[in-house]
Chain A
Amino acid sequence: MADVLFPVSLDQALDLLAKTEAPAVLAGGTDLLVQVRQGKKTPGIFVSLDRIEGAQEILETETEIIIRAGAPLARIMAHPAIRDHGSVLAQALAVLGSPQIRNMGTLGGNIMTASPAGDSLPPLYALDARVQLAGPEGFRRMPVRDFIQGPGKTALAPGEILWQANFTKPAPGTCHWFEKVGQRTALSISMVSLAALFRPDPDGRVSKVSLAWGSVGPTIVESPETETFLLNKPLTREVLAGAGDLARQAVRPISDIRATADFRRQVAGNLLMRLETPAKGKRLTRY
């Protein structure tokens, strides 16, 4: 088994990444150690984010929420600022893995795994989140949707560390909805998931719709067509059924051991039907 290094500052960590042979950044390890056990990854050394100052922080500014890469999922989902302004993310994290995994796993780890089934990703896409990468030459920023390039693939360059994700607080009155369909209720890997943000006007029509699906393509799927279709319409059953048809055209699912492509396509559209409730005046937020 390889050694684990515990740098205490970001600079020290970047320095270690530059100087060591085949390093792997360890941020919780709930995915990485599974891959190591399966022989899919053979790091020469682990560089842990665990003791880096500030690496686990969750910060709130006037307009933004900032989550550092090493913040454990359980802390993120329980954080008042996330509950108030990023409920869609909190809802997703609440059904990610198990309590043990949520205690160990981090947001940075979940983003870096870049799995189409990564539960934090659809909410981050829907929130239009950006990531900040730290490297020897300083920081660079980009939208999370540009950072994720394919299954297991990101824009992270060798020697860089994913340092944080941040998003602008959604306007007051925005509804947050996340639903994951797995093979069982808890401790499940998503077969299809949907993150939705939308703001109903007093007359029931929606302005500002943002949708993102997990596990229905090589990366998270967004559908501007579906969003545009829904804009300025009330979320009635008929409207949502129409949106569902557009969503089914937008997704690019595959069949694997968990689900068929047909199931994923069908459910990707069906999940929009859940958004009907708030149009009847109920507030659709789980927290």
Chain B
Amino acid sequence: MNTFLKTGPHGTAHPETAPPQIGLSQPRPDAAAKIRGTEKFTIDLPGKDDLWAGVKRAGIPHARLISIDTEKARALPGVAAVLTHQDIQGSNRQGVVRQDQPVLVDDRIRHCGDALALVVARDKTALGKALSLITFEAEVLPGIFSIEEALAEGAPVLHPDHETGNILLAGALTQGQGLDAFKACAWEVTISLTVPVQEHVCLETECGRAIFKDNRLFITASTQTPFRDRNETAQALGLSQDRVQVTAPFLGGGFGGKDGITVQTLLGLAALACPGKHVAMVWDREESFIASPKRHRANLSYRLGLLADGSFHALEARADFDTGPYDHLGGVVLALGLEHAGGPYAIPHTHIEGRAVYTNNPVGGAFRGFGVPQVTAAMEQVVDLAAKRVNLSPMEIRLKNCLTRGQKAPAGNTLARSTGIRECLAAVAAHPLWQGAGAWLKKAPAHTLRGCGLACAMHGMGFGPVVPDVAHAKLELTAQGRFRVYCGVSDMGQGNAATFLHIAGDLLCQPIDNIDLILPDTDQTLPCGSSSASRTTFTFAHALTRAAATLKERIVRRAADSLMVDDPEEFTLVPGELRHLTSGRAFPLAVMAGFMNPDERMAVSRYRAPTARDHVTDNKALKMHGVPHAIFSYTVHFARVEIDTLTGGIRVDRYLAATDCGRLINPALVEQQMHGAIAQGLGYALFEDFLTEGGQTLTRDLSTYIIPGALDLPPMELISVATREQDGPFGMKGVGEVGIDAPLACVANAVADACGKRPGTWPLTRVRMLALLKEKP
């Protein structure tokens, strides 16, 4: 069943007063506020800002801290506190896997964005002045600014306590005969390339508020991970978990950049030092650029071996990631990259190896795609090279080698669940854009080269076999007869909150207007894990579905008991009421709520996502870091590009993506996710190049770090290959990330089609493209 999203059922908007229906597009309730700019992000919420907190950052990439002089800053009028590591009671360490990042540096400065001191002042002017008065003494150490330098013999070691030195995590996945299988290959193709650091550029920069009162710490922050933040903050600052509350309002973008601590511990520390005062912190764009985690730069080196008939036989893939000075989620990014290194193809013999390496560059961390855009960039290019070598079209070689359900993926895990890659390829092959490609290519205007590119990707959902992928839903019938969804997982803008209302509305037969939403709050809502890993809707929707069933049954049974009706089936929920079908009588839900006590009106449910049981590696660390996954979404992208030979400009003329993310709950939201992911992916391919030199950021703001604008993006056509995922709520699978995995590879293949060349360094800016055209083939 293919749904062409553009012409799909959401062409006619569902009336907002009617209950929403699964599978039909529903305008998201937060759309109007987002478009008008009236939505309240964390720092816009009404509140008192007694004090402002700010950070003195190191500005040098590698040094041993000797002393910090805060006296002048302390003496400044309007300054409430100046804090250093000595003021921290707890571990002063944060991190998701390895706790290797100090809240405030106590020993070693490891990147320019490291925080040395925290100032709390009555206004931003005093804050700025005080920060400029802080000086520090440090013994400068030689720095490491590339993967190669980190691995060189005698390189300075960033974390002397780490067993494997500058290698945060290394791993290898070998299947079949591994590298020996190349002996049997008739053909071999290779490619090496480097993909860049990418910055998230959330509309809303990192920000939050905190207060310490009644012996508890209350933090509101722009975060994808409120529950994990609570634990990390408590530990770093030496508080018990129950004494910390974290709330997460709607985010103005996350993309992984708020998957973990940004302002939370600093705000907590500031609030602890100034009890009873509301403390606020906002990073400006420049600070966000320096201090926040980025997509990992990666060096990729691939070799693909084929049999004479063009079937893939052996793959050697090497992927090294620059994780910056701290783990953040670097090990997990590496693991996901390795698992996906072979793409959605059946390759019996593989050797996939990689490392995440510490450097003194900005912190590498979570970013939509999470290692997969990097490896896909290499895999999909080597597939096109192979096609050329064996004289098949890019479509033919992919159809010949793509995975079918029941086969093993290149990492060795069996794909037992919905696997729609072949159908995605077929959908693209049948599309007029693909069919008309030849004619279009022939009509290139003067000074223009035209090319078409194809790329596939698959993306695993969830946390892998070890870390529990769990969500708890809480659903209440309020005394006023309204429903209330307690959602413990952040909505960073992707619309999962709207989807939860959509699901609750459908299951309870209520218009969205009758349903309230409680956004993540570690006191009021239950743990749901992070808003990440393409798992947000999948996991919470399951828990919510169960809670809705429980509550609905309870309401109906209560009505049956109270009204002495034998069969609860005689009742059904309709908007605002419970209807007795036999008599036609209706009872307002407020009346029904009056029959029930508060505990009865509340349903709670837990869900843990299924995990892969395949034993694909003896490496326990890799397993712990998430290898392998059980459920995957798939996508096939097709792009037409034009290269201006006079300026090196690359114009993506048209774009097509066929995606298997299971059945669609709200097609409009799936379309938005795909549009956003493709746009961000094209930014990664053509524009976004976070540059540093000696650990210092060169692209310090949005005038030099270039993200694409509306005029740089092509019209996009989307096809949904809606398999039904048997474990998915309503048959769905995650769609948050899969769309960003393929655009760079797709553009690379289109550019190679146009000019016969493949650049070694990305993104392919105008400067690089023009230089590439001049290169001798």
Q: Which residues of A contact B (CB under 8 A)?
A: 181, 183-189, 191-192, 257-260, 262-263, 266-267, 270-271, 273-274, 276
Contacts of B770 in A (CB 8 A): 263, 266-267
Contacts of A186 in B (CB 8 A): 709-712
Could you jot down 27 A-B contacts, CB within 8 Å?
Answer: A181-B649, A183-B687, A183-B706, A183-B765, A183-B766, A184-B706, A184-B709, A184-B711, A185-B712, A186-B710, A257-B691, A258-B704, A259-B766, A259-B767, A260-B767, A260-B771, A263-B648, A263-B766, A263-B770, A263-B771, A266-B770, A267-B648, A271-B646, A271-B647, A273-B447, A274-B646, A276-B446
Contacts of A184 in B (CB 8 A): 687, 706, 708-709, 711-712
Most buried by A among B446, B647, B649, B706: B647
B695-734 interface (Cβ within 8 A of A) = 698-699, 703-704, 706, 708-712
Contacts of B767 in A (CB 8 A): 191, 259-260, 263
Cα separation A184 to B647 with both chains bound (whole Å): 12
Contacts of B766 in A (CB 8 A): 181, 183, 191, 259, 263
> Would you give the shortest CB distance from A77 to chain B, in whole angstroms?
17
Cα separation A189 to B703 with both chains bound (whole Å): 8
Cα separation A168 to B555 with both chains bound (whole Å): 83
Most buried by A among B687, B708, B766: B766
**Given that A181-B649, A181-B766 are known contacts, is A257 also in contact with B771, CB under 8 Å in the complex?**
no
Contacts of A262 in B (CB 8 A): 771
Cα separation A266 to B774 with both chains bound (whole Å): 10
Cα separation A185 to B646 with both chains bound (whole Å): 15
Closest to A1 in B: B125
- Shortest beta-carbon contacts, A-B, top 3: A185-B711, A270-B646, A263-B767
Cα separation A267 to B773 with both chains bound (whole Å): 13
Cα separation A181 to B645 with both chains bound (whole Å): 12
Beyond the given A185-B711, A260-B767, A271-B646, could you list 17 further A-B residue pairs with CB under 8 A, ordered by the A residue number? Answer: A181-B647, A183-B706, A183-B765, A185-B709, A185-B712, A186-B711, A191-B766, A258-B704, A260-B771, A263-B648, A263-B771, A266-B770, A267-B647, A270-B646, A273-B447, A273-B646, A274-B646
User: Is the pair B687, A270 in contact by a Cβ cutoff of 8 Å?
Assistant: no
Cα separation A191 to B646 with both chains bound (whole Å): 13
Cα separation A188 to B645 with both chains bound (whole Å): 20
> Would you give the shortest CB distance from A30 to chain B, in whole angstroms?
12
User: Is the pair A257, B709 in contact by a Cβ cutoff of 8 Å?
Assistant: no
User: Is the pair B646, A257 in contact by a Cβ cutoff of 8 Å?
Assistant: no
Contacts of A189 in B (CB 8 A): 703
Cα separation A191 to B647 with both chains bound (whole Å): 10
Most buried by B among A181, A184, A267, A276: A184
User: Is the pair B647, A270 in contact by a Cβ cutoff of 8 Å?
Assistant: yes
Closest to A37 in B: B284
Cα separation A82 to B703 with both chains bound (whole Å): 29
> Would you give the shortest CB distance from A122 to chain B, in whole angstroms?
16
Contacts of B699 in A (CB 8 A): 257
Cα separation A188 to B702 with both chains bound (whole Å): 10
Contacts of B647 in A (CB 8 A): 181, 192, 267, 270-271
Contact-residue size bin, chain B (C-beta under 8 Å from the other chain): 20 to 34
Closest to B284 in A: A37
Most buried by B among A183, A192, A258, A274: A183
Cα separation A262 to B766 with both chains bound (whole Å): 12
Cα separation A270 to B647 with both chains bound (whole Å): 7
B412-450 interface (Cβ within 8 A of A) = 446-447
Contacts of B703 in A (CB 8 A): 189
Contacts of A276 in B (CB 8 A): 446
Closest to A263 in B: B767
Contacts of A271 in B (CB 8 A): 646-647
B745-777 interface (Cβ within 8 A of A) = 765-767, 770-771, 774
B634-692 interface (Cβ within 8 A of A) = 645-649, 687, 691
> Would you give the shortest CB distance from A67 to chain B, in whole angstroms?
26
Closest to A180 in B: B647
Closest to A185 in B: B711
Contacts of B447 in A (CB 8 A): 273-274
Cα separation A191 to B691 with both chains bound (whole Å): 18
> Would you give the shortest CB distance from A180 to chain B, in whole angstroms?
10
> Would you give the shortest CB distance from B237 to chain A, in whole angstroms?
33
Closest to B701 in A: A38
Closest to B770 in A: A263
> Would you give the shortest CB distance from A235 to chain B, in whole angstroms?
13
**Given that A183-B766, A184-B687, A273-B447 are known contacts, is A267 also in contact with B646, CB under 8 Å in the complex?**
yes
User: Is the pair A187, B709 in contact by a Cβ cutoff of 8 Å?
Assistant: yes
Contacts of B446 in A (CB 8 A): 276
Closest to B683 in A: A184
Closest to B767 in A: A263
Contacts of A259 in B (CB 8 A): 766-767
Closest to B645 in A: A270
Cα separation A117 to B647 with both chains bound (whole Å): 17
Cα separation A276 to B774 with both chains bound (whole Å): 22
> Would you give the shortest CB distance from B569 to chain A, in whole angstroms?
60
Contacts of A274 in B (CB 8 A): 447, 646
Cα separation A185 to B713 with both chains bound (whole Å): 10
Closest to B774 in A: A266
Contacts of A267 in B (CB 8 A): 646-648, 770
> Would you give the shortest CB distance from A27 to chain B, in whole angstroms?
20
Cα separation A276 to B647 with both chains bound (whole Å): 16
> Would you give the shortest CB distance from A61 to chain B, in whole angstroms?
37
Cα separation A203 to B711 with both chains bound (whole Å): 38
Cα separation A262 to B446 with both chains bound (whole Å): 23
Cα separation A184 to B771 with both chains bound (whole Å): 17
> Would you give the shortest CB distance from A46 to chain B, in whole angstroms?
19
> Would you give the shortest CB distance from B204 to chain A, in whole angstroms?
19
Cα separation A126 to B770 with both chains bound (whole Å): 27
Closest to B286 in A: A38
> Would you give the shortest CB distance from A91 to chain B, in whole angstroms?
16
Closest to A188 in B: B706
Cα separation A188 to B446 with both chains bound (whole Å): 25
Contacts of B691 in A (CB 8 A): 257
User: Is the pair A257, B698 in contact by a Cβ cutoff of 8 Å?
Assistant: yes
User: Is the pair A257, B704 in contact by a Cβ cutoff of 8 Å?
Assistant: yes
Cα separation A276 to B710 with both chains bound (whole Å): 30
Most buried by B among A189, A192, A258, A271: A258
> Would you give the shortest CB distance from A130 to chain B, in whole angstroms?
31
> Would you give the shortest CB distance from B752 to chain A, in whole angstroms?
21
> Would you give the shortest CB distance from B409 to chain A, in whole angstroms?
37
Cα separation A191 to B252 with both chains bound (whole Å): 32
Cα separation A212 to B312 with both chains bound (whole Å): 55
Cα separation A271 to B649 with both chains bound (whole Å): 12
Closest to A266 in B: B770
Cα separation A22 to B645 with both chains bound (whole Å): 48
Contacts of A266 in B (CB 8 A): 770, 774
Contacts of B646 in A (CB 8 A): 267, 270-271, 273-274
> Would you give the shortest CB distance from B342 to chain A, in whole angstroms?
34
Cα separation A191 to B765 with both chains bound (whole Å): 12
> Would you give the shortest CB distance from B171 to chain A, in whole angstroms?
36
> Would you give the shortest CB distance from B710 to chain A, in whole angstroms?
8
Contacts of B704 in A (CB 8 A): 257-258
Cα separation A187 to B154 with both chains bound (whole Å): 46
> Would you give the shortest CB distance from A191 to chain B, in whole angstroms?
7
Cα separation A262 to B687 with both chains bound (whole Å): 19
Cα separation A228 to B687 with both chains bound (whole Å): 38
Cα separation A259 to B765 with both chains bound (whole Å): 9
Cα separation A271 to B774 with both chains bound (whole Å): 16
Most buried by B among A188, A192, A267: A267
Closest to B711 in A: A185
Contacts of A260 in B (CB 8 A): 767, 771
Closest to A256 in B: B704
Cα separation A35 to B569 with both chains bound (whole Å): 71
Cα separation A186 to B713 with both chains bound (whole Å): 11
> Would you give the shortest CB distance from A190 to chain B, in whole angstroms?
12
Cα separation A189 to B770 with both chains bound (whole Å): 18
Cα separation A274 to B703 with both chains bound (whole Å): 28
